[in-house]
Structure 1
Amino acid sequence: MSVLFINGEWRPASDGATIDVLDPATEQVIAQVASASAQDLDDVLAAAASGFHVWRSTPPAERAEVLDRAGRLLLDRIESIAATLTEEQGKPLDESRAEVRQSAEYFSWFAGEAVRAYGRLLPTAPGRRSWVERRPVGPVAAFTAWNFPASLPARKLAPAVAFGCSIVMCPAIEAPRTAAALVQALDDAGVPPGVVNLITGDPPRVSEHLIGSSTIAKITLTGSVPVGRTLVGLSATHLQSLTLELGGHAPVLVFDDLTQEQLGRAADALVRAKFRNAGQVCISPSRVFVQEALYEAFVDAVVDRAGQVELSPLANARRRDGVAALVSSSGAKIRCGGVRPDGPGFFYPPTVLTDIPPDSAVLRDEPFGPILPVLPFSTLEDGLQQANNVPYGLAGYVFTASAERADAAVAGLDVGMIGVNEVALASAASPFGGVGLSGYGREGGTESLEAYTVATAVTTKGAP
């Protein structure tokens, strides 16, 4: 399948250009996808403009029906989509199936929200009426990363379609065919031509062309801080609204009131959360602070469990080399892992670090890989100071048996999402986003209404 979907049609690039897609487990080329030309980008902008004209006037109940059908199609196709996801992204097949199910959940949940995009009636003087209504923001340019090639596009496609926007989806070139499967489901479900489009190509050229057009009214990105800064700069000409999710460096506070059994369960949860998808998760626990009385026992528990993790590859050579450089320059004690295995594939083992110098880059820079630094802390105040000592603020975690400590830690963490004795934070019903360099705006939950609509205030009275 050619991975350009413009105005309801799959097609190759107008100039025939392609991009290789690699299997990260073998480093072999598994597919070639189209690389959009300037003409293709002009065509997709025209399609999005015409699609928006149609879709904004489509009754919300009809939009809901399309999304609901698309969600059911994803579940019907879960095995084939999951196989594609694993082949081009590298995560284990069970994780891929779970991601497709989550994508279907976004579609079905926002099908319900489509008919609940409420405004509000304002009290006014007799003879006057005043209300606020929510209108679709306009054509959307959506850019996603490669770590979750199904759920990240779904988190943007679902609210855009639900609330009456057209959208140009720009998936990561490392894993584009999974996003194409989501778009195919929407097409098969009956979305009109031009409402949902998909473009692949050179990322700087694609983003500059799309954002440089006054057609695009909204930009949404899940990606890195440097890319976020670039898109903010590009948006200055037309002042498009932005939603930016730019990663994090999630702290974990483990308190010393845990029993031995509770400590084991906390270690299980953290290792599972840290090393899924080879640590390439923006809300992944990436700095673990353990209260001193439990520190050594917790390190032992984490090291033991890390050695049992199923190894999956990183997405590309760039990521593998970046992870290796962070470990080698960390100045830390390597408790397990830390050595790249021989053979093909972008593999790096689960790695646990202790005795880490306070100025180590691994504590400052998001590792986005299978690296878990574990450090001690003394008091709650000390733990919070260390946890908040980065410019990111996406997610944070707390493990404690004390409700009082949990409340105090939650109040003190400067992040957008918090799990207390829980590591599963993302769902269709929950807003996803952070503070600081983690970006701004929220996707997921009813908060998506703010991202994909604008508030219009209307006041009327009788004839003049």
Structure 2
Amino acid sequence: MTDYPALHMLIAGEKVTGGGRDTEEVINPATEEVLGTLPHATSDDLDRALDAAQSGFREWRSTSADKRATILTNAANLIRERKEDIAGWLTREQGKPLGDGRGEAMYSANLLEFYAQEAKRTYGRTLVRGEGSRVEVQYHPVGPVAGFAPWNFPAINVMRKIGGALAAGCSVIVKPSEETPAAGIALVQALLDAGVPGGAVQCVFGVPSNVSEHLLASPIIRKLTFTGSTPVGKHLAKLAADDLKITTMELGGHGPVLVFDDCDVDKAVKTMAGNKYRNAGQVCVSPIRFLIEESIFEQFRDSFVERAEKVRVGNGLEDGTDMGPMANARGRENIQKLIANAKEAGANLLTGGEVIGNQGFFHQPTVLSEVPTSADIMNNEPFGPVAILNPMSGEDAMIEEANRLPYGLAAYAWTDDAARRRRLAAEVEAGMLAINGGSVSTVDAPFGGVKWSGYGSEDGREGVMACMVPKTIHES
């Protein structure tokens, strides 16, 4: 593992450093030390990136699908070769355990490799007509894409912005989070090293609102893809609407977990407690509201609390750490406010609830129970290491509560009843539902939500097709 790298942007294939530009410091959330200084793009930098994206699009779309696939596969292999460096940088800037950082780097490589093969499968179709006429449906890359990625998964979220677009033949300008830049820079560099043209994949940074407004005001950009909060997503969707740009929005969630009395309780607790405290709960698909049938509530509650109290919190670079710090001070402050509000509303604090130490942004794994729906945490995504355990009277009440909020990203259910599994699949309002398991993300399946959790999908063939537009040719 190497030291944290010098930070830069990648515009038209060139490294762009400070040079009198505005900068900001990148902070290690475990130690609060300054890791590096990140340059911000000027208006001229962004205009240069736009011009490069336009020419890069022409070059990359004319590259054969086989050659694009080979280049993207080679980039995936480079990411695998560099995974130790990427994981170490990612852990330093985001806080998660080093093993999770390795897993994130590998998932990014696997996703890119999947997209590489999908580059060769953007099939159209021919509709047969009489008297020698026909109708042909073709799919073409939409054009230059602007992608905005958050800090919680600095590699995966960036790859989701890049991979499908490049497979489709689009060029991409990606803005990773300024709080976690190194992992995203490393992915873009791997793509450039593998042979992607400098104008086809670029990386910029700056004040988020300034960068987004500048890029989305340009007619060069034809698609926006964003992962982040619902309020910011709504704002960006409005900006994109001014030019009728295509958008993919992966926004906030408030994951319900429906636990029925016919399930394997021990397995459900083990799986979902691990999911809850993964990445300190800073996961858009994190399980939040545990809706547990009354007959097994005490058993589930006691076992879950026991597991929460065994989570080892520490620096992600240290062996044995299960959960690192929260990524920033504002997230920890928000969690403290939500816990206090829940207690005032009548919730029971079963374990945790406090910050840890006076250095770094550490917070105890926390469990609340019997939380009324009036509490803020029952209605707003906490994005932190807090689980809510509430007893429920039965299936109808559980589904009603699961669907109560305007969010619909990920949901989870635990039941051995086959008929109930089919009902849940039909009735739970979510873009992704895991039944008797904790994973809702694989490289070959679409990832996305409904309602206020957004629209459009990444991953799977859908992630490529979301960057393409149909064209119908009628021949007589």
TM-score (structure 1 length as normaliser): 0.97
Aligned-partner Cα distance in 1 for 2:137–2:74: 30
Contact 2:283 2:383 in 1 (8 A): yes
Please say if 1:318 is aligned against 2:330. Answer: yes
Residue 267 of structure 2 aligns to a residue in which SS? helix
Give the structure 2 partner of residue 193 of structure 1: 198
Please say if 1:267 is aligned against 2:269. Answer: yes
For 1:125-176, what per-residue CA distance to the aligned partner results, in whole angstroms no more than 9, with x for missing partners?
Answer: 2221211111000000000110000001111211111110000000111101
State the AA in 2 paired with 1:411: A
Residue 470 of structure 2 aligns to a residue in which SS? strand
Return 5+ residue gaps in structure 1 as ranges.
none
Give the structure 2 partner of residue 298 of structure 1: 300
For 1:386-422, what per-residue CA distance to the aligned partner results, in whole angstroms no more than 9, with x for missing partners?
Answer: 1111110001001112212222222210000000111
State the AA in 2 paired with 1:265: K
Contact 1:350 1:371 in 2 (8 A): yes
Contact 2:115 2:464 in 1 (8 A): no
Residue 111 of structure 2 aligns to a residue in which SS? helix
* 1:107-256 pair list within 5 angstroms: 107-256=112-261
Aligned-partner Cα distance in 1 for 2:462–2:135: 23
Name the Cα RMSD after superposition.
1.0
Aligned-partner Cα distance in 1 for 2:335–2:462: 34
State the AA in 1 paired with 2:265: L
Aligned-partner Cα distance in 2 for 1:134–1:48: 20
Give the structure 2 partner of residue 279 of structure 1: 281
Contact 1:13 1:36 in 2 (8 A): no
**Among 335, 343, 355, the residue aligned to 1:340:** 355
Give the structure 1 partner of residue 342 of structure 2: 330
For 1:208-233, what per-residue CA distance to the aligned partner results, in whole angstroms no more than 9, with x for missing partners?
Answer: 00001111000000001111011112
Residue 49 of structure 1 aligns to a residue in which SS? helix
Give the structure 2 partner of residue 426 of structure 1: 441
Residue 300 of structure 1 aligns to a residue in which SS? helix
State the AA in 2 paired with 1:178: A
Aligned residues: 458
For 1:349-405, what per-residue CA distance to the aligned partner results, in whole angstroms no more than 9, with x for missing partners?
Answer: 110001212211111001110010000111210110111111100010011122122
Please say if 1:72 is aligned against 2:77. Answer: yes
Contact 1:285 1:396 in 2 (8 A): yes
Aligned-partner Cα distance in 2 for 1:207–1:39: 14
Q: CA deviation at 1:334?
A: 0.6
State the AA in 1 paired with 2:271: A
Contact 1:13 1:40 in 2 (8 A): no
Contact 1:13 1:37 in 2 (8 A): no
Residue 232 of structure 1 aligns to a residue in which SS? helix
Return 5+ residue gaps in structure 2 as ranges.
1-5, 314-323
**Among 442, 456, 461, the residue aligned to 2:471:** 456
Residue 338 of structure 1 aligns to a residue in which SS? coil
Query: Identity over aligned residues, as a percent?
Result: 43
For 1:192-216, what per-residue CA distance to the aligned partner results, in whole angstroms no more than 9, with x for missing partners?
Answer: 1200000011101000000011110
State the AA in 1 paired with 2:421: A
Residue 418 of structure 1 aligns to a residue in which SS? strand
Residue 401 of structure 2 aligns to a residue in which SS? helix
Contact 2:348 2:370 in 1 (8 A): yes
TM-score (structure 2 length as normaliser): 0.95
Aligned-partner Cα distance in 2 for 1:289–1:2: 45
Contact 2:370 2:391 in 1 (8 A): no
* 1:290-439 pair list within 5 angstroms: 290-311=292-313, 312-331=324-343, 332-439=347-454
Q: CA deviation at 1:123?
A: 1.9
State the AA in 2 paired with 1:326: L
Contact 1:415 1:434 in 2 (8 A): yes
State the AA in 2 paired with 1:460: E
State the AA in 2 paired with 1:314: M
Residue 342 of structure 2 aligns to a residue in which SS? coil
State the AA in 2 paired with 1:299: R
Q: CA deviation at 1:14?
A: 5.5
Give the structure 2 partner of residue 442 of structure 1: 457
State the AA in 2 paired with 1:313: P
Contact 1:4 1:13 in 2 (8 A): no
